Amino acid sequence: MTLIVPTIDLTDESMFERNEFWPALAWLRENDPVHWHEEADGPGFWALTRYADIAAVYADHEGFSSRYGMRLGSNADAVAAVSQRMLIVSDPPDHTHLKRVLSREFGPSELPRLERTVRRVAAEVMDEAVVTGDIDFLEIAKLLPNYVVCAAMDLPREDWAWLGQITTEAFEGEDEVRRSGAHGEIFLYFEDLVHQRRGGDGDDFVSRIARARRASEVPGEERLLTDEEIIFNCNGVLAGANETTRYSTAGGLLALIERPEQWARLRTAGPEGIAAAVEEILRWTVPGVHALRTATRNAEIGGKQIRAGERVTLWNVSANRDESMFDAPDEFRFDRSPNRHITFGAGRHLCLGARLARIELAAFLTELIDRVDRAELRGTPRYNASNFTWGLNHLPVRLVPKRAA
């Protein structure tokens, strides 16, 4: 029997805007899981769609580098400017040294402070949402992660709204010029902040990072982070914290609206149910669609020969629907277990903000269950046009509050 090969173009961002990319990924998993993907205006790239292959590449940081860019369509000059100085586009040893410094700010010792902040912000945001009633839920979903990360980074309260807006523009601007300009504005903002706080004894996020020391290029010695390292990674923390939680929160609400039986069971499931639902929402929504690596040496994956210098894309969104890893992966089950999703990547590049994102989603679900009887769809959901950071950008809903006892 002749195999009919469909036309697959993972660079067609309109396919993601229409939410119509799932069949293409399913076909690749089944028929060509290590797929050579031609590009109209580029050298082409490998597309990996099975969980096991993707996890293996994540684990091999020596054979597959992040320093040459971590997404399709990135500007090579912009990547070169931040390479080995920004966490997401660096390899060991620089990646290890930078992550060690930054992870302290989101580590176990900071959890009580972060959890208090998240609970306070989630209550404030849901107060507003329930009172409003009919809303575009994305306006609410944007507030929770933005307010939390700005508070966690000790940024001036009067700047929060602008930072949320400019971060959205950096990822969802109409063209590359606008997106690059927005990133530039964020860099300038943090440059001013570093200049104000460098050398001080403040207990805020930037001051602590500015006093932190990392291993230097001279064995056995340490040095302060450079201004550029602080600025680039503050931008990374701000962007990463905003995008993932926003899309997961909105996508999780839509999944529960479309499955009232799941919502009914979740409302009575208690804390364990909320913890499980957080993981299923993350698996289901997977805002980080793909990650890019560059092969540093010849390798074989799934019987295909990868040559040094070739680009390899890891489609997290496909790994989370891999039939060999998940039972009935196209079903949303709030109590799914086990649930070893790959939404935050894996290995050394496991997302720095994964813990914070989970805390935020748990707080959102807790507030939703406490305050809302049901949510109703009031229009057509819409998605953004991106094959990198993807999710709902319009979700008209009515939140029906619980009746007072």
- DSSP E strand boundaries for 272-395: 290-295, 299-301, 304-306, 311-315, 372-377, 382-383, 392-394
* Mean pLDDT for the stretch of residues 164-188: 85
What backbone torsions phi and psi does residue 124 show, to the nearest 5 degrees? -65, -45
Flag whether 306 is in a domain. Answer: yes
Confidence at residue 40, expressed as pLDDT on a 0 to 100 scale:
86
Residues in contact with 266: Cβ distance below 8 Å, sequence separation at least 6, in sequence order: 256, 273, 274, 277, 334, 365, 369
Buried b (16+ CB within 10 A) or exposed e, 188-205: ebbeebbeebeeeeeeeb
In a domain, 322, yes or no: yes
> What is the pLDDT, as a whole number, of residue 2?
52
Residue 330 covered by a domain: yes
Amino acid found at 311: R
Answer yes or no: is 80 within a domain: yes
Interval 276-295: pLDDT, tens: 999 999 999 999 999 999 99
pLDDT of residue 362: 96
N- to C-terminal Cα separation, the chain: 65
pLDDT in tens, 298-353: 999 999 999 999 999 999 999 999 999 999 999 999 999 999 999 999 888 788 88
Q: What value does the mean pLDDT of the chain take?
A: 91
Asked if the model's pLDDT at residue 19 lies above 90, the reply is yes
Report the CATH number that the domain containing residue 307 is assigned in CATH: 3.30.43.20
DSSP assignment of 122-142, as one string? HHHHHHHHHHH-EEEHHHHHH
Examine residue 335 and state whether it is found in any structural domain, yes or no. yes
Q: How many domains does the chain have?
A: 1
Q: Is residue 261 part of a domain?
A: no
135 occurs within a structural domain: no
Full residue range of the structural domain in which residue 293 is found: 1-88+289-342
What is the per-residue pLDDT across 26-38, written as a single tens digit (0 to 9) for each? 999 999 999 999 9
Q: Is residue 398 part of a domain?
A: no
